[in-house]
Amino acid sequence: MELEALYKLTHGLYVLGAMDGERPVGSVVDAVMQVANKPLVLALSCNNQSYTKECIERNGKFSLSVLSKDIDPYIIANFGFQTSRNVDKWQNMDYVMEDNLPYLKDNIARVGCKVLQKVQYESNTLFLAEVENCVNGKDCEPLTYLDYRSYFKDEVIKKFNEVKQAKEKKMAEDKNEGKKWVCTVCGYVYDGETPFEDLPEDWVCPLCGVDKSFFELQ
């Protein structure tokens, strides 16, 4: 079998939302399509490892925010590269609650659904769900899964790493706040204008003459 052939089935990319009690959870999904007109039924497939899937099974409802071609790549990284089990993904997002379901403000359409049936597979769970709410968002073309695979994924990974590094840097700075570089030989406390890290390698302690490696943050 040539599994690549299945990539030629076109579909979009969506932020899936659900409620974990009072807390909104979410993930990125691509396997969504309308499968009936009367009643209005959508099919949604979720990975069985997904925490959002567990929450949909518990309360029987989910939301879909349809993403546009000009979506901020970080939104996909935020919902796709972390788990709602230990991260509040909606916290840093611009979102609205409608009928007790979360939606991204930046959407081209939003759809709220109630689960009718569930089919369990080894890897995935398929939900068949009735549309209870659907509203048009901004006027823009939908992002497709093909866009994601062909060029958008690189931007998403880049943005995810940028934000992660900035967070780590900020945490390191917070941890070192109020601390000083102190010479472990003579006790001299560095308080120069230049950050200690940026001093040249041949810089020495003005009191005892040892090099930078003898200093530590205290």
Closest CA to 93 of 85, 217, 42, 80: 80
Which positions from 171 to 190 touch Fe ion by CB under 5 A, shown as an x/- string?
------------x-xx-x--
CB 218 within 8 A of CB 193: no
The full DSSP string for the chain is --GGGGGGS--B-EEEEEEETTEEEEEEE--EEEEETTTTEEEEEEETT-HHHHHHHHH-EEEEEEPBTT--HHHHHHHHSS-TTT--GGGGS-EEEETTEEEESS-SEEEEEEEEEEEE-SSEEEEEEEEEEEEE-SS-PBPBHHHIIIIIHHHHHHHHHHHHHHHHHHHHHHHHTT--EEETTT-PBP--SS-GGGS-TT-B-TTT--BGGGEEE-
Which positions from 66 to 105 touch Fe ion by CB under 5 A, shown as an x/- string?
----------------------------------------
The amino acid present at 69, given as its one-letter code, is K
What is the nearest approach in angstroms of Fe ion to the Cβ of residue 181? Answer: 11
Q: Which is nearer to Fe ion, 153 or 212 (CB)?
A: 212
What is the nearest approach in angstroms of Fe ion to the Cβ of residue 190? Answer: 10
What is the nearest approach in angstroms of Fe ion to the Cβ of residue 183? Answer: 3
Q: Choose the binding region for Fe ion from 34-42, 86-94, 131-139, 198-206 (rule: CB under 5 A).
A: 198-206
Q: Which is nearer to Fe ion, 10 or 213 (CB)?
A: 213
Q: Which is nearer to Fe ion, 18 or 205 (CB)?
A: 205
Report the length, in residues, of the chain.
Answer: 218
Q: Choose the binding region for Fe ion from 5-13, 40-48, 86-94, 207-215 (rule: CB under 5 A).
A: 207-215
Q: Which is nearer to Fe ion, 157 or 204 (CB)?
A: 204
Q: Which is nearer to Fe ion, 35 or 189 (CB)?
A: 189
Q: What whole-number distance in Å separates Cα of residue 106 and Cα of residue 72?
A: 9
What is the nearest approach in angstroms of Fe ion to the Cβ of residue 151? Answer: 54
Q: Which is nearer to Fe ion, 123 or 213 (CB)?
A: 213
What is the nearest approach in angstroms of Fe ion to the Cβ of residue 199? Answer: 14
Among 15, 159, 205, 215, binds Fe ion (CB under 5 A): 205
**Which residues are at the interface with Fe ion (CB under 5 A)?**
183, 185-186, 188, 205, 207-208
